[in-house]
Structures are given as structure tokens and as C-alpha cells.
Amino acid sequence: MDDLTFELDAEIRSEDPAALRPVLEQLFRPDEIRPTDRGFEVHALVACDSARDCNRSLLSALRRAVRRTSLRARWSFGGVSERYFDYVLKGRDA
């Protein structure tokens, strides 16, 4: 299957945001990452097979750096958005 380009809007929270910054900088451009009080917001375009695969890959990479990290993400492609909290699909909007 060809990779699709998803628009990502994510809120990342962690006990140790400083430990996550290098991981995020490897995955995204600096202008796509914004620090917050509890972690980061990310707004980026990401290529992969599905929103579920994108979400799983991102959260797994973050949790390798800091185990207690949470991810709220909206992955959008072709007018459809999927919302995730950590690994769980919370809804799909058309």
C-alpha cells in the first residue's frame, strides 16, 4: 500500500518533556513543534499507511524515551479525521 499524507494535530504530555524534545526533533521540523506547560503540541504532515499506524509509531517512539507519556492526536486525510487517545481510537469524523 502507498503511503498517505496525514495532517497531524497532537497534544503530547509527559513527566519529562525535556527527554522527549530530541525524539520530536528527529521526527518533525522545529516549526512543527510547540512547547506547552505539560509537554508539546505538534502540527505536521506525516506519511504512512494509515492513521492507526501513524499513531502507534509515534506513541511507541515517545514511550521509548519516557514511559509515562500520553498522546491525544487527530489524524486527517481526505476529509476524514480519526481521533486517538494513546493507542485507542476515540472517534472518526467525516
By C-alpha distance, which of 54, 37, 41 is closest to 9?
41
For the chain, which residues make up each domain, given as ranges?
4-93
Q: E strands along 15-87, which residues?
A: 33-35, 39-48, 69-77, 80-85
pLDDT of residue 22: 97
Say whether pTM exceeds 0.95.
no
Domain 4-93 annotated CATH 3.40.50:
no
pLDDT of residue 1: 54
Handedness of CA 9, 15, 18, 23 (dihedral sign): negative
- Give the model confidence (pLDDT) of 19-52 as tens digits: 999 999 999 999 999 999 999 999 999 999 999 9
**Strand (E) or helix (H) holding 25:** helix 17-27
- Whether residue 59 contacts residue 71, with contact meaning beta carbons closer than 8 Å, is answered with yes
